[in-house]
Amino acid sequence: MLIDGFDWDTGNREKCKKHGVSTAEIEEVFRSRPRIAPDIRHSITEDRYIAIGRNRESRPIFVAFSIRMKEGRVFIRPISARYMHRKEIENYEKENPKTQD
């Protein structure tokens, strides 16, 4: 799917920021071919997904997001983002050895 950009507003920007992850870092995750999976537990009112990837400094980041259509264009709407915990990183690297430094 081709994405036209990101859907940011005060709500999702602040929610991501409270975990210390910047909007630029979140956008970097999507530019670096993250692992993406459906987020079935949180997909009650809309389809939600999770992405796991790295920022420029190779720090692993977890992003919850949805896809929004606006005027015929497709946008990623980040819902929440955080840096991954040590055990999550170990599991991620075990499953994705090519992504390690």
Considering only 29-33, 44-48, 54-58, 72-76, which range has the smallest mean pLDDT?
A: 44-48
Domain contains 17: yes
Question: 101 lies in a domain?
Answer: no
Q: Tell me what pLDDT residue 5 has.
A: 96
Report the relative pairing of strands 60-70 and 48-54 from DSSP bridges.
antiparallel
pLDDT averaged over every residue in the chain: 87
43 pLDDT band, cuts 50/70/90, is: low
Give the Cβ contact number of residue 101 at 10 Å: 5
Range with lowest mean pLDDT among 17-21, 60-64, 83-87, 93-97:
93-97
State which residues form the domain around 91: 5-96
Check pLDDT > 60 for residue 99. Answer: no
Is residue 91 assigned to a domain?
Answer: yes
Number of domains in the chain: 1
Q: Does residue 45 lie in a domain region?
A: yes
In a domain? residue 35? yes
Residue range 23-39: average pLDDT? 92
User: pTM for the full model?
Assistant: 0.83
| pLDDT for 85 beyond 90 | no
Position 63 in a domain:
yes
> Does residue 47 form part of some domain?
yes
Which residues fall within 8 angstroms of residue 34, CB to CB, at 6 or more apart? 51, 52, 53, 63
Domain-located, residue 16: yes
**Which residue reads 């040590």 in tokens?**
86
Question: Residue 101: its pLDDT value, please?
Answer: 45
Q: Looking up tokens 């992504």, which residue turns up?
A: 99
